[in-house]
Structure 1
Amino acid sequence: MRRPWVGKFVLLSAIWGGSFALIKVAVDAGVPAVWVAFARCLFGALALWAFCAVQRQGVPRDRAVWGHALVVAALLNAVPFTLLAYGETKVSSVLAGVFNATTPLTTLVFVLLIVPQEKVTGAKLAGLLVGFTGVLVVLGVWQGLGDDVLVGSAACLGATTCYGAGFAYTRRFFSGGPHSAGALSAVQITCGAAQLAVAAPLLGGVPAWPGWPAAAALVVLGAAGTGLAYVLNLDVIRQAGPTVAATVTYVTPLWSTALGVLFLAEPAGWNAVAGGVIVVAGVLLARKPANRPVGQERTQPLVRADKPGPGRRAYGSPHTTTRSRQ
């Protein structure tokens, strides 16, 4: 059976997995974390607006949309992008990529809190417990934690917590309406760039030229990881459905680990690999559907893959709007 989305899925997972190595290149060159986050949003917004122009997608003019976009941008872009970049000044890109796999678990926590349709089940609670155990294994708590590892890990987990809150908020307040996903994504990332344009000079000072490798890493990180990836993610959702698209979260740690080891010579201890597997197991357990009586209607997904029309909205992963995401 022909599956045209498979190539896009692999490319998407590689782009998001490679984002952690690109962040590491930038912060190791001395780029302040908040400026890394700003570059991601700036170049991502430019790429998304170019996509919207080619597709002739209109700009949302509803004030409520822009108001919600400001909140979503803070939770899914400005704050977590800064925290991830700061975390990678303390820990490897390998660990940052593994920690990012906890995003579906933090999302579940906030969804249970603010989305009335979601019900607490034993599987979800067990999945959260298993996922938390996986985080402890990744950290290697039995070995003791140095200050840098503790601070860096906390920053990375703080980013995934922001993602969780942002995805839940998006599901309730920002995922409906007649606007295309591309246009709303462009609005969201633009809001993130505006927020960081104010914060970056205050928190990071005036950045120095980091050199061509770091500058290139920032352009690719924004244009591909926060621009092209959003478009690919939308295509995968429309062609394969949101459930399949969400599984990209399970693949990105493989890319982040491989690229960190091969190109940055970072160590990948057994506990990072084992802990990552345990985290993914917790995610799978938490996603296990509850038993429903025959005839009971299922909750409608955010997007119907069979009729993706221009007004449909969908989100998929860590680094996109309402993804299981970046």
Structure 2
Amino acid sequence: MLTADERLEFKTARVIGASNQMTPRLNIQRNGRAWLLLGFMGILWGLSFSLAKMATEGGAHPIGINYWVCLIGAAVLISGSFILRRPLPLRRDVLIVCTVCGVLGSVIPGTAYFYAASRLSPGVLSITIATVPLMTFLAAAVLGVERVSTTRLLGVFLGVLSIALLIGPSTSLPDRSAVPWVLLAVSSALCYTAENLFVAIRMPADVNIYTIVGGMFLAATIIMTPLVVITGTFEPLPWPWGRSEWAILGMAAITVSAYGLFLYLIRYAGPVFASQTAYVVTLSGVIWGIMIFDDEHSLWVWLSLGVMMLALGLVTPRKDKSQLAAPPEHVNIP
């Protein structure tokens, strides 16, 4: 009789198309590919904070920047959906999800982050975005979706401490006027938390996720169109493109590609492994800021970063040893 581990190994090998057993070499290849994907995606996503700073420094208005990111994302994904013959279903449940996610995932937090990017360094901004998984766990625990443990609650506490280290000491930030913008960025993370929970509850199971994301960007674009017209914040992209225009296009490309890679990583290596992206995004956001803008941070900011990394480590669920060796059965791994 096979042991539980042997049955799992046999089952996994069958799923990915092996003969009747998982070889160590194949397992190493899967681990290596998953880590490469995680690293590449996290580094790419971390660059978006510096690009946001670059776009705002070029004089582009935060509302206009967010409008272009949503518009380009919608154009790419909606076009792809039609090419793949997976158009957005015009059903009530789908339209509600796209609209709510468009507001909670793009219109409000996107605009707020671009406002904050004009006042904060990319490194500080990347630390604030790390509060999203902490808030998501806390909200899910309150709703009874996630299991509560002392370790994970300690992680949430450390996340709060990390933000306190950013805004509390008088020498933490270069200018005390930046404190409200840190709080705005953290408050905006609540929108992403609400979006995560809404998606978990209301996401239609019969609609392709990329189609939904395209619909989300489309809804955000429709909502923001009258806003940019009324406020006069539309940003033309005249040729030849300058630093600000290239930054806007870069952020749009990252939004589409990194999000797609994240979804692929969830299916390839599992959600627990993919959740570790938060580490790479935050760290790379700080490093990109140093490389591009020569950012110099106080000791308090570095301490805040270290505490936030520890907080993420405590809140992230423990990784099952067989996770990379056993992808979900319904996923077709190339």
Tell me the TM-score range normalised by the shorter chain.
0.7 to 0.9
Report what 1:83 is aligned to: 112
1:166 aligns with 2:189: no
- Give the 3 Å change call, closer, same or farther, for CA 269–99 of structure 1 in structure 2: same
Amino acid of the residue matched to residue 29 of structure 2?
R
- Give the 3 Å change call, closer, same or farther, for CA 273–180 of structure 1 in structure 2: same
- After TM superposition, the score normalised by the length of structure 2 is 0.80
Equivalence map 1:23-172=2 (5 Å): 23-113=52-142, 115-143=143-171, 146-172=175-201
- Give the 3 Å change call, closer, same or farther, for CA 269–109 of structure 1 in structure 2: same
The gaps in structure 2 that reach 5 residues or longer are: 1-27, 319-326
Equivalents in 1 of 2:170, 2:293: separation in Å?
26
Structure showing greater radius of gyration is 2
Using the TM superposition, name which of 101-110 and 134-143 deviates more. Answer: 134-143
Equivalents in 2 of 1:288, 1:135: separation in Å?
22
Match of 2:330 among 285, 307, 310: 307
Report what 1:196 is aligned to: 224
User: Aligned-pair RMSD on alpha carbons?
Assistant: 2.3
- Give the 3 Å change call, closer, same or farther, for CA 139–31 of structure 1 in structure 2: same
Q: How many residues align?
A: 293
| CA deviation string 1:229-262 (max 9, x = no partner) | 2221121111111111111111012211111111
- SS of aligned partner of 1:107: helix
- SS of aligned partner of 1:141: coil
Amino acid of the residue matched to residue 2 of structure 1?
Q
Amino acid of the residue matched to residue 135 of structure 1?
I
- SS of aligned partner of 2:29: coil
CA apart distance, 1:79: 0.7
Equivalents in 1 of 2:74, 2:141: separation in Å?
31
Report what 2:250 is aligned to: 220
Report what 2:259 is aligned to: 230
Question: 2:172–2:298: 8 Å Cα contact kept in structure 1?
Answer: no
Equivalents in 2 of 1:235, 1:9: separation in Å?
10
- Give the 3 Å change call, closer, same or farther, for CA 9–121 of structure 1 in structure 2: closer
CA apart distance, 1:286: 2.4
| CA deviation string 1:25-84 (max 9, x = no partner) | 110111111111111111112222243344332322211111122111111111111111
Equivalents in 2 of 1:286, 1:244: separation in Å?
13
Match of 1:2 among 13, 20, 29: 29
- Give the 3 Å change call, closer, same or farther, for CA 196–53 of structure 1 in structure 2: same
Which contiguous aligned blocks of 4+ residues in structure 1 show a shift greater than 6 angstroms?
none
- After TM superposition, the score normalised by the length of structure 1 is 0.82
Equivalents in 2 of 1:55, 1:21: separation in Å?
33
Question: 1:27–1:89: 8 Å Cα contact kept in structure 2?
Answer: yes
Equivalents in 2 of 1:209, 1:239: separation in Å?
37
